[in-house]
Amino acid sequence: MKIRIYADFNNRNEDGFVRLTVVGSERDLTKYETSLTEGINVILYDEELEIDATLKRDPRLNIWLGVPDWTTRRDLDSNSTSE
């Protein structure tokens, strides 16, 4: 089973990699920190979608990045918020 990491898909660097620095990302990264290595495949998700990605470390900023594979985009069911 792939590790799932919350992502803010609007928080991307100039290369289009998702910066995993928001509170939800940090929570998930902490939860799996013993399993995290550069190059592993993960799932990035938010409330609306999930995408397969590769984990990468930015040594300059000392942060994790997700390198998304946009061809794997899966829209999540929005009916869970229906009244």
Tell me what the mean pLDDT of segment 71-75 comes to: 96
What was the pLDDT predicted at 43? 97
| Domain count within the chain | 1
Residue 81 counted as domain residue: no
In a 13 Å sphere around the CA of 69, the CA atoms on its Cβ side amount to 9
Residue 59 counted as domain residue: yes
Residue 22 counted as domain residue: yes
Of 64, 44, 62, nearest in space to 53 by CA = 44
- Residue 42 near residue 5, CB atoms below 8 Å: yes
- Residue 32 identity: Y
pLDDT digits (tens, 9 = 90+) for 37-56: 999 999 999 999 999 999 99
Q: Output the CA–CA distances (angstroms, integers) from residue 10 to 31, 35, 43, 46, 48, in the order listed.
A: 23, 26, 16, 11, 13
pLDDT above 80: residue 79 = no
pLDDT above 80: residue 62 = yes
Residue 38 counted as domain residue: yes
pLDDT digits (tens, 9 = 90+) for 4-46: 999 999 999 999 999 999 999 999 999 998 889 999 999 999 9
pLDDT above 80: residue 81 = no
| The model's pTM | 0.88
What was the pLDDT predicted at 33? 87
Q: What is the CATH number of the domain that holds 18?
A: 2.40.240
Structural domain range at position 10? 3-72
